[in-house]
Structure 1
Amino acid sequence: MAKILVIDDDFEVCETMESLITRLTHSCDAAHSLDEGLRMVRAKTYDVVFLDVRLPDGNSLDILPDLMALPQPPEVIILTGKGDPDGAELAIEGGAWDYLLKPSSVREISLTLGRALKYHEEKVGKIEGEGLDLTNVVGASPSIKVSFGLMGQAARSDTNVLITGHTGTGKELFASTIHANSNRRNGQFVVVDCAGLTESLVESTLFGHRKGAFTGAQDDRIGLVKLADGGTLFLDEVGEMPLSIQKAFLRVLQERTFRPVGDTREQTSNFRLIAATNRDLDEMVEKGEFRSDLLFRIKTMRIHLPPLSQRPEDIRPLAQYRVKRLCDYYGIPEKAYGSDFFTTLESYSWPGNVRELFNILERAVIASADEKTLYSMHLPRTLRIQVVKSQIAKMTGDAALEQDEAALVSSGVSKIGQEIFEDIFDQELPTLREFKSIAEKVYLGELIRQCGGDLPKILKASKLSRSHFYSLLKKYGLSL
């Protein structure tokens, strides 16, 4: 018996759907708002969700990412009383199973539900029986679990895969894991750094060359495409591939044949293609920077890796995994962790994602030397300063503290507080309350100095009220 949820503000529709679904021997719950529906799907696992596109508290298409990010995402069938082609397109792109107009016939609803349940059953069965080797892949957040599920599907197939995500999210690791779990695991995993391809040697690098084909070609050379025969060819940062070579590579993808530079004979290579990029290839196509026909070929299946800032619950397990590996590598006892260590890591925004996290952790392990426990003080000073600035900004509502370093320097904030920041972080980290007091006192002193003690200027520059300013002067023993 399947579990179905209907999210619709029309009570009559909910009752009709519940009656139909019950007759089909499934259980059915109903919610009448987005907020109520989200609470229910987070508390209980559903196989299929019927979702009205317009509800009193918002557009249902906006919550599709939340539904898709659930540990066991349901199949979503969008319901609407208005024919909306753009809405239908957005629903399908957002991961919805189907899109039905209200009113739909009993037969149409039953058939759509039946197909969705059949697909869901097969998908769940495959994911649960995956048996993937995830030795080097770490994460338990809902969003990364969605990526794991897609990775399992990719490993079972031989289709072309495009992996997207910001720099440092682990695209190459995902690609190599797909290869290691595929039926091509005994073949080579060949990496092509598209950003490093030079116009003059790109064809030779990819397709190989014959001796004497050009100046410097002193021997025959096998290209990367041929090396991947029977294995996987990974195009890293495919968005950087020169336009001049994209057409030639498209032919290789279509026919799996190529001709080495200086050769008259064609060769074949039976490879599986995985590509990765941190760029928006659709936008590049619109600008004429990437071939649309090549994009269609490489994105048969797409896997998106979310940035680390969107999955903070993965920071602790990633850090523990990395530190253990580092301790093994350096031949030192495994480290314990101070209570402030993970708090600091989880408070940082990680613009460089997992790659930045791993590099920072290596610096921390080296900085801790023979100490048995890792504390926040072992993390780089710049990271700790950024975390404290961010925390103060959230407490005070001062968005300026969350700007980048260049903006801070131009506004004078960085220069004003630089010395006090450096003094503080050369010592044991103070409490947030203590740090806020220190920062406020330094700010007030500099404010008075820059404004020459002119009260109207001070109030205008600081956006403080007269009473608040005088209370701060009294608090810190300052005067004009």
Structure 2
Amino acid sequence: MSEILIIDDDQAICDLLTERLSRLGHEASCATDLAGGLSAAQKGSYEVIFLDVCLPDGNGLMALPSLRNAQSCPEVIIMTGQGDPDGAELAIKSGAWDYLEKGNSLSDIPLILNRVLQYRREKASTRPMVALKRPGIVGNSPKMLKCYDLLAQASASEMNVLIQGETGTGKELFARAIHENSSRSQEPFVVLDCAALPETLVESILFGHDRGAFTGADRTQAGLIKQADQGTLFLDEVGELPLNVQKSFLRVLQERSFRPVGNQKEVKSDFRLVAATNRRLQDMSEDASFRKDLLYRLQSLVIPLPSLRERKDDIKEIAVMHIARLCERYSIKTKGFSHSFVDLLQTYSWPGNVRELINALEHSIIAAGDSPTLFERHLPEAMRISLVRASLATHLPAPQNQEDLPNEKDGHLPRLAELINSETAKLEKWYLAELMNRTQGDLKQALTISGLGRTALYDRLKKYGISRQGS
């Protein structure tokens, strides 16, 4: 018997499904809105959730990731009264097992349910007990746990892997982890940075060359593809690979053989391919800047790495590890950090992801000097300015409603210039008062944040009667 949750505002559907599931020997519970469904999923141990899309308090598709991340990690089957191709795509990308139209598919539910439950039983019985080697990869947020599952799948197979993610998310770390956990771990791990390939030497770097093949080729040189024989070839930023080389490399993937420059004989290389990109290769393939046939070969298994702002719960753990490493590098005692320091790290948007975080931590350690504790004051100035600007922006007064706009006595609107001057003065006065309060009268910081010159700031403070201690 399995526990199953039904989230649907149609009581007739709830009753019908409950009856059918009961006849199959399962225990069903119902929730008629999204809030109730989310609450039930967090408290229960459901194996499967049937989820409606249009619910009174929200769209079921938007809640799909939260439901999948419940403690029991249930499989979710979407049910909708009216199918939508875009909705179906979003559902599958968000981890749904299937996307069904109610009218046509209710009779198929027993078969689908049996498949889901069989899948879960087999997955539980074959789950590997050996811990993955993942040096340098930190975090246990739900999105990272999904990446580890994919990492385990990639490591246990020989299929081509495409790692997607923004710059600084750790794509090379994942590629190395795939290699270290694979049967090829004792063989070479060869890195090719496609963004740094000199156009005139691309084929030589990839395929190698014979002595005398071109001017300056004074000796025979094995290319990176041959160097990766029996090991792993990692193509970093594969989206930068020139089109003419994409065609040649596609043949290498198909045949596992190639000709070095200046040589007429085929050379074999048994390598495992892992590629990474921060670009949307699917879009590039549509506008013919990346070969579709090569993309199909690369993405046998795709690992999408989340940005740091999508897994802020991991930031403290990442910071602890890298602070210890950096202090060891500089031969100093490991520093602690204040609560406010961590709060700011978790508030910042991290456009540069983990790489930017490491640089910020290194800056903070140097700025702290002999201090045993890192405070927000030690963070890079540009980062602190960005955080203060963002904080001030969230407190800007809301625009006035139309009925609140000032009118002249005859009922007509005032001149636009008069209105703009009046409202600008109010906003300027509020901003300066808030600026002085936030900076606690620190003139240098106030000048940096506001972008005003010293004289201009003084004149405005005097104009509105605002002291440097705030008002």
Shorter-normalised TM range: 0.7 to 0.9
Work out the CA distance in 2 between the residues paired with 1:352 and 1:100.
Answer: 40
CA pair 327-397 structure 1, distance change in 2 beyond 3 A: farther
Q: What SS is found at the alignment partner of 1:201?
A: helix
Cα pair distance change 1:206/1:262, threshold 3 Å: same
8 Å Cα contact 1:192-1:224 kept in structure 2: yes
- Provide the rounded CA distance (Å) in 2 between the counterparts of 1:227 and 1:284: 29
Aligned to 2:253: 253
CA contact (8 A) 2:441 2:468 kept: no
One-letter amino acid matched to 1:59: N
1:396 aligned counterpart, secondary structure? coil
Determine if the alignment matches structure 1 residue 166 to structure 2 residue 166: yes
**Contact 1:74 1:120 (8 Å CA) reproduced:** no
**Paired amino acid for 1:270:** D
Deviation at 1:85, TM superposition (A): 4.3
Partner of 2:76: 76
What is the RMSD of the two structures over their aligned residues, measured on CA atoms?
Answer: 3.4
Is 1:369 aligned to 2:369, yes or no?
Answer: yes
The one-letter code of the counterpart of 1:26 is H
Distance across 2 between alignment mates of 1:283 and 1:311: 26
1:241 correspondence with 2:245: no
Q: Could you say which residue in structure 1 is the equivalent of 2:296?
A: 296
| Alignment of 1:353 onto 2:353 | yes
State the 1:72 CA deviation: 5.7
Counterpart AA for 1:31: A
Question: Which one-letter code corresponds to 1:61 in the other structure?
Answer: L
Aligned to 1:409: none
Measure the CA separation in 2 of the matches of 1:8 and 1:281.
37
Q: How does 1:402-421 map to 2 (within 5 A)?
A: none
Q: For residues 137 and 382 of structure 1, what CA distance do their matches in structure 2 show?
A: 27
**TM-score, normalising length: structure 1:** 0.81
Q: What residue ranges of structure 1 are gaps of 5+ in the alignment?
A: 400-415, 425-429, 454-468
Is contact 1:323-1:361 (8 Å) kept? yes
Matched ranges for 1:63-462 at <5 A: 63-68=63-68, 73-103=73-103, 108-126=108-126, 129-396=129-396, 432=438, 434=440
In 1: Cα distance, 2:343 partner to 2:86 partner: 43
Cα-to-partner distance string for 1:176-219 (whole Å, 9 max, x where unaligned): 11111111211211111000112211111111111111111111
Change (3 A) 1:448 1:126: farther
1:342 Cα offset (Å): 0.9
CA distance 1:183–1:13, shift in 2 (3 Å): same
Find the aligned partners of 1:203 and 1:377 in 2 and give their Cα distance: 50
CA drift of 1:242 comes to 0.3
The corresponding residue for 1:42 is 42
**In structure 1, what is the Cα distance between the partners aligned to 2:62 and 2:24?**
30
Other structure's SS at 1:25 match: coil
Using the alignment, how far apart are the partners of 1:395 and 1:122 within structure 2?
A: 53
Spell out the pairing of 1:5-44 with structure 2 (5 A cutoff). Answer: 5-44=5-44
Per the TM alignment, residue 166 of structure 1 is displaced from its structure 2 partner at its CA by: 0.6
Q: Does the Cα contact within 8 Å between 2:42 and 2:71 map onto a contact in 1?
A: no
- The percentage of counterpart residues that share the same residue type is 48
TM-score when normalising by structure 2: 0.83
Amino acid at match of 1:30: C
Match of 1:427 in 2: none
Change (3 A) 1:431 1:122: farther
The alignment covers a number of residue pairs equal to 434
Alignment partners' CA distance in 2, 1:397 and 1:189: 56
Structure 2: runs of 5+ lacking an equivalent = 400-427
| Matched position secondary structure for 2:49 | strand
Query: What amino acid maps onto 2:332 in structure 1?
Result: I
Counterpart in the other structure of 1:457 = none
CA distance in 2: counterparts of 1:128 and 1:42, whole angstroms: 26
